[in-house]
Amino acid sequence: MKTQFPPFVHAYPAPVVLIGCGTLAAPNLITCSWFGTVCSEPPMVSLAVRGSRFSYHLIQESGEFTVNVPRAADLPAVIHCGSVSGRSARKFDDLGLTAAACPPLERAPMIAEFPLALACRVRHTHELGTHAAFIAEVVGVHGCARSSTTSPRPDLFPEEQLVYLDGTYWSLRPVE
């Protein structure tokens, strides 16, 4: 028999991404696992950020951000960007990462060293309570082409991606 628990949202794995915001001259990163796909045509994603976060104001101001998909080896950067505020730290510099332009965006930087980045423009913002949901159109994708196919899609390296579940980071493995 199941036991009823108070409502909570960490009962299923969520993708771990680093959000690039700000500008190339003053870039910032925030770790986020409250991220997901919301529409395929046009391609759109959602991102939830607490209003008190430094990144929230940067995204509000510019109306754009990048979604940088880390590999399991990037876990130290994920942890750092989730525990240090951009108000007091320069995370790209701290981690030895390169803030690169992410066309067609005008401001938000992507992480040059990460294998996959989505360029996103905010279309809607919904204040929800502790967090705001940014609904954004994916206007560009930057990555390495798949070597085993002629498909115009990037390599997604699924076995190296990270997810977050109830306070712990996990890597993905195929189910056979």
Residue 174, pLDDT > 90, answer no
Are 97 and 80 in contact by the 8 Å Cβ rule? The answer is no
Could you give the domains of the chain?
14-171 (2.30.110.10)
The residue among 140, 157, 144, 12 whose CA lies nearest residue 70 is 157
CA gap 59, 135 in Å, rounded:
11
| DSSP string covering 13-54 | -EE-EEEEEE-SSSEEEEEE--EEEEEETTEEEEEEEETTSH
Q: Is the pTM of this model over 0.85?
A: yes
* Burial readout 76-105 (b: 16 or more C-beta within 10 A, e: otherwise): ebbebbbebebeebebbeebebebbebeeb
Give me the pLDDT at residue 45, please: 98
CA gap 148, 3 in Å, rounded:
47
The pLDDT tens digits of the residues spanning 73-89 come to 999 999 999 999 999 99
Give me the pLDDT at residue 149, please: 64
Q: For the chain, give the mean pLDDT.
A: 93
Amino acid at residue number 72: A
